[in-house]
Structure 1
Amino acid sequence: MIRTVITGSTGRMGSTLLRLARDAKDLQVVAATVRSGSPAAGQDAGLAARLGAALDVLLMDDLERALEFSKADVVVDFTGPEASLAHAKTCAARGVPLVVGSTGFSEEDTAKLRESARKVPIVAAPNMSVGVNLVIQMAAQLARVLGPSFDVEVLEAHHRMKKDAPSGTALKLAEVLAESLGRTRDDLTFVRDGQTGARPPGEIGVQALRGGDVVGEHTVYFFGDGERIELTHRATNRDQFAQGALRAARWVARRAPGLYDMADVLGLQGKT
């Protein structure tokens, strides 16, 4: 049994992770946390997360204390950049592997995450879905084969409550496409407004839509002369994100220190 700690346990992803980890035969939820000062602290994690039954695990608002008493093998974190960085530092100090699914990290944040990963193995990915990560690999291959004669655009859609834009997955797609085409982040265009003129050669557009309860949709367009290719992934619930994260948890629990991503977890050849 892999002794697992779930952070942000009363949130959308946290409660999903709790439910799926509870039902997994090879995982044991030994601790669960909420933000500091949360009124849910001290409640049973299963009841607070509305799972319909108690888990016999009391919510804590301090990850360090949770790790001290749980003898955890791995922590799974879907909170936010600031909290995730603090959790990574705590895991590094305690020697506990970590899975991070938060998005919105800056380059400076990623550097801090990498620093923690010198002490413990960390899997960090903007999207833990197995399907999305296969789409990223396919997009890279298409870009290499089609080359500069095709114009590339990335479009993503998410629910109205999402805080960052474009999504971390869209940014990952755009960066992978740029690398495959020999371009840089300077070639990414996030806003078009007014008299923009003709589309510059080599530009990669990244656009975001927000509304309703859309879980997550990502499409890469390859526009050629006389033909168009569309590569799309649509998520209809959060289970696949959580299942991917738990797959990463099983994988990272036995790895050497380092910063990994889902391509490592899935063993994808020619990872970008």
Structure 2
Amino acid sequence: MTATGESDAAGPTRLAITGATGRMGEELLAEAADRDDATVALATSRTPEDGPLEGVELDSEAEFPTLLGERDVDVLVDFTVPEPCVEAVEAAANAGVGAVVGTTGFDSSETAALRAASEQTPLLKAANFARGVQALLQIVGDAAAAMEGYDAELIETHHNGKRDAPSGTAKAILQEVEAARESTENAASDGADASGNRVHGREGTAPREDDEIGVHAVRAGDITGIHEVLLAGNDEELRLTHRAEDRGVFAAGALDAAVWLDGRPSGWYDFSDVLGGE
């Protein structure tokens, strides 16, 4: 896939991929193998003996900080879990290596640590690297504002191994709806938790309040990801749905982001920056 941004560095962007034997790690390795603008210089795993994958030898994650410099890495791409992700990003920042973060589920202190790292190195964090999700985020606020007073529900569905609920993408969608309606004073930034008027599932006697947003997280099978926003009222309903059929779409977007980020100044970036061509 052609990257949406041009790297300032000569030659392909040299990547470090953490969690290489995980669901997204393997997708990232496969995507990189098909590209000319990026190459995997370092891939780490808790189980490096499971390699090589896509022709790439695996190293132990314990060696990650040392190998960053030895392998001349340009950008880290991390889709793991919060604590090791923060550790990897901090190591990257100390080494002057950029970071693309697709991990979700951070608490406030972990988000603060990522923010601090972005003062040392370019860091791009996104809850979702699918272009269709970015389009959904752009239009859902307009829809919620236009349908003032309508009931709002969000249903998100992922595979049975998904750790955080609701998903980072769901939280980003909720923020757009809440901002459009001004229905909560603490619509969080950067995917941090904020309850606002969100109701997570319903049980027993639970009459709906006018300004609440129902949030429903479904976990089953190997479903890649479905996000649906329902706005209903005035004898009509609008459903906005994004369905990811394959994790490869996230890997492609993440590597587009890594190539775009290579050579950028320190700071905090979002996937929308990549698609905007800034």
Q: TM-score, normalized by length of structure 2?
A: 0.88
Measured against aligned partners, the alpha-carbon deviations of 1:205-230 in whole angstroms (never above 9, x if no partner) come to 11111111111100001112111000
Name the structure 1 match of 2:272.
263
CA distance in 2, matches of 1:81, 1:261: 18
After superposition, the Cα gap between the structure-2 partners of 1:144 and 1:256, relative to the gap in structure 1 and judged at 3 Å, is farther
2:160 alignment partner AA: R
What are the within-5 Å matches in structure 2 for residues 170-181 of structure 1? 170-181=170-181
Q: Is the 8 A contact 2:99 2:124 kept in 1?
A: yes
CA distance in 2, matches of 1:183, 1:194: 25
Tell me the CA shift for residue 58 of structure 1. 4.0
1:200 has 2:226 as partner: no
1:182 has 2:187 as partner: no
CA distance in 1, matches of 2:97, 2:261: 10
2:30 alignment partner AA: R
Tell me the CA shift for residue 135 of structure 1. 0.9
What are the within-5 Å matches in structure 2 for residues 1-272 of structure 1? 1-35=12-46, 38=47, 40-41=48-49, 44-46=51-53, 51=54, 54-55=55-56, 57-61=57-61, 62-147=63-148, 149-184=149-184, 185=194, 186-197=196-207, 199-267=208-276
Q: Is the 8 A contact 2:76 2:89 kept in 1?
A: no
CA distance in 1, matches of 2:251, 2:39: 15
Higher relative contact order (CA 8 A, sep 6+): 2
User: How many percent of aligned residue pairs carry the same amino acid?
Assistant: 39
CA distance in 2, matches of 1:253, 1:205: 39
Q: Is the 8 A contact 1:219 1:233 kept in 2?
A: yes
Measured against aligned partners, the alpha-carbon deviations of 1:103-141 in whole angstroms (never above 9, x if no partner) come to 111122211110111111111111111111111111112
Tell me the CA shift for residue 5 of structure 1. 1.1
2:261 alignment partner AA: V
Tell me the CA shift for residue 163 of structure 1. 1.5
1:12 alignment partner AA: R
CA distance in 2, matches of 1:268, 1:247: 11
Residue ranges of structure 1 left out of the alignment (5+ in a row): none
Q: Is the 8 A contact 1:33 1:66 kept in 2?
A: no
Structure 1 runs of 4+ off > 3 angstroms? none
Aligned-residue CA RMSD (Å):
1.6
The aligned length equals 256
CA distance in 2, matches of 1:58, 1:152: 46
Measured against aligned partners, the alpha-carbon deviations of 1:137-185 in whole angstroms (never above 9, x if no partner) come to 11112112222x2111110011111121111111111112101111224
CA distance in 2, matches of 1:88, 1:112: 9
SS in 1 for 2:156: strand
Tell me the CA shift for residue 254 of structure 1. 2.5
1:151 alignment partner AA: D
After superposition, the Cα gap between the structure-2 partners of 1:210 and 1:44, relative to the gap in structure 1 and judged at 3 Å, is closer
Tell me the CA shift for residue 250 of structure 1. 1.1
Tell me the CA shift for residue 12 of structure 1. 1.0
Q: Is the 8 A contact 1:45 1:59 kept in 2?
A: no
CA distance in 2, matches of 1:123, 1:26: 18
CA distance in 1, matches of 2:267, 2:164: 26
CA distance in 1, matches of 2:120, 2:177: 31
